[in-house]
C-alpha cells in the first residue's frame, strides 16, 4: 500500500532532508508554508512512498533535521497517511 508522508519542518531544515530523500530515490515535493503559534515559516515536504520504504524515509528525515533550539521545542511534525489511490498522468 502507498503512503503519503507530510513532514512540516523548521524552515532552516528543509533543504538537507529534501536532498537526501531525493538522492535515496524518493519522490519529494517541497512547499513553503507558514503556521504555528507565531506564524513562523516552515518547509512542508510531501513524500509518496511504498509501505515497505516508509521506515527508511522517516529515518532520513530524522537524521537530517537540526536539534531543537530549546528543550521541549520540536523541529518537525510528521503525518503518515494511507493513500487509497495513486495515479501518475
Residue 37 placed within a domain: yes
**CATH code at position 28:** 3.30.70.120
User: Which pTM value belongs to this model?
Assistant: 0.88
Q: How many domains does the chain have?
A: 1
Give residue 74's pLDDT: 81
The string of pLDDT tens digits covering residues 9-64 is 988 887 899 999 999 999 999 998 887 655 678 889 999 999 999 999 999 999 99
Domain that holds residue 18: 2-83
Report the distance separating Cα 60 and Cα 21, nearest Å: 7
What is the secondary structure of 26-66 as a DSSP string?
-EEEEEEEEETTTTEEEEEEEEEEEGGGHHHHHHHHHHTSP
Is residue 54 one of the residues assigned to a domain? yes
Amino acid at each position: 500500500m502507498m503512503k503519503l508522508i507530510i513532514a512540516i519542518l523548521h524552515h532552516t531544515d528543509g533543504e538537507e532532508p529534501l536532498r537526501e530523500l531525493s538522492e535515496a530515490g524518493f519522490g519529494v515535493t517541497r512547499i513553503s508554508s507558514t503556521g504555528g503559534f507565531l506564524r513562523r515559516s516552515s518547509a512542508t515536504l510531501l513524500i509518496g512512498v511504498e509501505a515497505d520504504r516508509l521506515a527508511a524515509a522517516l529515518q532520513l528525515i530524522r537524521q537530517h533535521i537540526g536539534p531543537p533550539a530549546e528543550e521541549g521545542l520540536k523541529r518537525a511534525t510528521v503525518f503518515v497517511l494511507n493513500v487509497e489511490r495513486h495515479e501518475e498522468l
